[in-house]
């Protein structure tokens, strides 16, 4: 991989309000789908297995979004995932959303690594940390 990951999310009827615009909470579902695919496709770690077999979760502790222009039914939203920070138990991702090269939104989320049994934060494991650091370097190289 030589560029930050871009998740392509077609805007479907189920995402929109009666006017054909994406209803804002649906964007957060798209962000989650992008994170899961990023883990699987870019980090080479099966997101579902981490949760179900290894008991490691990645809930969102904070999220914010600036909506610059609406997205409509039939468009394809491209979400570019930029890793901004890797902490002891958390990571910060930025989602730059565009349609046809026009920026539509910018969002930021902090994900916390937790052990699923008790829901408590835990340090990011060595293998995941190594892969995150490589992706962070890639993002910084393309800033």
Sign of CA dihedral 81, 137, 43, 2: positive
Q: How far is CA 131 from CA 5, 13, 80, in A?
A: 14, 36, 18
| Domain span at 36 | 6-141
Q: Is the pLDDT of residue 143 over 90?
A: no
Average pLDDT of the residues in 120-131:
97
Average pLDDT of the residues in 32-55:
97
DSSP string, 101-131: TEEEEEEEEEEE-EETTTTEE-PPPHHHHHH
Give the model's confidence band at 117: pLDDT under 50 very low, under 70 low, under 90 confident, else very high.
very high
Structural domains counted in the chain: 1
CATH number of the domain that 78 lies in?
A: 3.10.129.10
Domain presence at residue 92: yes
Q: Is the pLDDT of residue 1 over 90?
A: no
Q: Which residue has the higher pLDDT, 125 or 143?
A: 125
Alpha-carbon distance of 137 to 15, in angstroms, equals 34
Q: Can you give the pLDDT at residue 84?
A: 98
Domain presence at residue 64: yes
Please say whether the beta carbons of 79 and 10 come within 8 A: no
When the pLDDT of each residue in the chain is averaged and rounded to a whole number, the result is 97
Backbone φ and ψ of 100, nearest 5°: 55, 35
pTM, entire model: 0.96
pLDDT in tens, 46-102: 999 999 999 999 999 999 999 999 999 999 999 999 999 999 999 999 999 999 999
Domain presence at residue 1: no
User: In sequence order, what are the residues at sequence separation of 6 or more whose Cβ sits closer than 8 angstroms to the Cβ of residue 5?
Assistant: 34, 37, 38, 41, 42, 80, 81
């Amino acid at each position: 991989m030589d560029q930050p990951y871009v998740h392509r999310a077609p805007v479907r009827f189920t995402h929109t309000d009666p006017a054909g615009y994406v209803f804002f909470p649906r964007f957060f579902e798209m962000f989650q789908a992008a994170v899961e695919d990023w883990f699987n496709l870019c980090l080479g770690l099966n997101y579902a297995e981490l949760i179900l077999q290894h008991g490691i979760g990645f809930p969102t502790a904070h999220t914010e979004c600036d909506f610059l222009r609406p997205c409509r039914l039939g468009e394809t939203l491209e979400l570019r995932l930029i890793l901004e920070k890797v902490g002891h138990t958390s990571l910060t991702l930025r989602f730059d959303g565009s349609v046809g090269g026009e920026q539509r939104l910018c969002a930021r989320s902090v994900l916390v690594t937790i052990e699923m049994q008790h829901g408590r934060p835990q340090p990011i494991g060595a293998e995941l940390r190594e892969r995150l650091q490589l992706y962070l370097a890639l993002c910084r190289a393309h800033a």
